[in-house]
Structure 1
Amino acid sequence: MKPIKILAGAAMAFGLATTAIAEDKTKVGFVYVGPVGDGGWTYEHDQARKAVEAEFGDKVETVYVESVAEGPDAERVITDMALKGADLIFTTSFGYMDQTINVAKKFPDVKFEHATGYKTAENVSVYSARFYEGRAVQGTIAGRMTKSNIVGYIGSYPIPEVIRGMNSAYIHARKVNPDVQFKIVWAFTWFDPAKEADAAKVLIEQGADVILQHTDSTAPQAAAQAAGDVITFGQASDMAEYAPKPRVSSIIDNWAPYYIERTRAVMDGSWASSNRWDGIGAGMVGIGEISDAVPAEIKDEALALKAAIADGSYHPFTGPLKKQDGSDWLAEGETADDGTLAGMNFFVEGIEGDIPQ
């Protein structure tokens, strides 16, 4: 009977080892504000989730919940992920900020990463991309390409991230075309194809022949395509199905390297709370291929601007610049500091209309 006892003990030990191996699998959760098929913001976050799986294979397990409303429902979803054993949770919309902080207090051993916010804790990091760098490139193309001198802009919510983008696009459109005007429609949604399409149609009716958007669906692209001689830019994702026109270029959010880096940090125990804000130079913001609908000289100008931003020789917010009310903001050659940009709540001189409160 002795050999049998040894075998039983070995089997028991093997079972424990198997359990330990299973428990070593790192569980990573993702909370999305839109559907994974939105073609924009959430689609790119989900591509990054898949990149995490590809990088680590069976060492990780990823889970996600899509179309989670900002507010109390988000706290329920985040809590549920933590209760189900997530080691790391990415909450991928600005409006999840307070909910992320609240849940993190209850689960100190879970690591949290909140996109586009500013509140951190010992187990909460924040990360964002310098989308305004891409807006500078878009603004340059928009200012050169418009024939009506009216550029329409669909805003989601009047938060600093969106306001920064509007200002950057306008500054650079005006640099190449002093006669340019921006007309802004606030959709008050991140993802609502019907509202986004209606916003695009309103702007086109007001004479806009260029549409920029800070919303997540491809509906404005479709509206511009139906209208005819209107150009657009992909938002968050390439939206290349609308190339070469109306979509003439895009801002592409590349979250994969960051998600892989932070997942690895949890796995090897080196994770620490941080605040990351990367742009074109670091590869977190990509510029989609500029189509042949853009004349070669305009394309060259846009790519030169992209290169200057990437190597740090140019900052999109460089003075002289005034605020909308005419007060001085940046002197000649002065650049905006990150603190001001992170909390931006004003338009620059020349943009018409008020920021909703």
Structure 2
Amino acid sequence: MKTQKAILGVLASALFSLLIGAATGLPALAVFAAIFALSFFVSRPEASLLTAIDIADLATACGDYYRENRNILTSELLLDPAVTDKFTVYDNVTDELPLPKMEIGNILQPGVVKTFVPTADALAFDARILKVRDVKFDLQLVPSVLHKQWLGYNATKRRSDGSKDPFELPFEAFIMNKISEAARNQLYLQAMFNGSYNAAGTTPVATMTGINTLITNLIASTDIVPVSVADPTSTTVIDIVEAVYDGLGEAYKGVPTEMKVSPTVYDWYTRRYRALHGPNNNYEGMKMGRTLIDGTMCELVREPGMGTSLRMIATRKENLAYGCDTFATATMDIQKFDRTLKVLGDFKAGVELHQLGTAGNLAISVNELVSDGLV
């Protein structure tokens, strides 16, 4: 059908060209070429848009799109499932949030003695502090360059008959979505685990103190005593994973826990396990980046945010706290600057460990690393 329409269109254009040529004295071939080119740009207006981008109008359109879709864009940036599935999320945190804990000592006694004999100092209250910090991105975009990428994106979304697909995006939506996606990936993959806060820094890792850095600092202050093992390798990884799990308190071995490891360590584990014992009974879980450690309620989790770290972190998912503010402080401003666009984004985010546990009942267990510089 599409081919037939095209043939009929060409024939009609040719006949019309002959008539115009006869009436005006112009060469019919030249008239035909002009009609063909005009029809192409009418049917595909984006083909000629490149030379007609009004930067001021584009800045206005991007701003309008952000205001209309602010909640969606902010949620995609700060509340992506890759984060919310692996942390306890605290939204609307604008500075510091206490994460209270209460430890209860031994309070049971034989009931023979009927007088009141209270246990001294049975309750201990404490709180770790979840700190969110200001994070920003400053971008200067050249619309003509982005325009080419947008054309390529829309070309992949166009239906076989040339009609538009619902997944095609307006130019301003394409720009704003790409910015949100990049910021989200950098926050998750570079900062949340391996970040080291530096107010004077200019990179994603400087925006917050990540989980791995927190653990290294707590080891240095002896608030966490790591399991004494060698750094894992592709052949020793199973024994070290099980040793780290053994470091958890017994109260935490009876509830679901997770051990987060880098993609490299996870792949070492699954391949070593398969080589020694054949496919795991939970092999489907391996393919999804999770596999149950034999005889436990602890899942080994493939965590891209760990980067290339050899750290292993065994704890409950609820013990990893992530704070952000999708309400008051998350903003994006778009401005025209000469022939470019300035995009200024601001939000708040941070991570913390909720509790460490007590001696003999540790809420978190990690391996000792040569890279800690403490062994």
Verify same fold: TM over 0.5: no
TM-score, length-scaled by structure 1 = 0.28
TM-score, length-scaled by structure 2 = 0.27
Higher RCO (Cα < 8 Å, 6 or more apart): 2
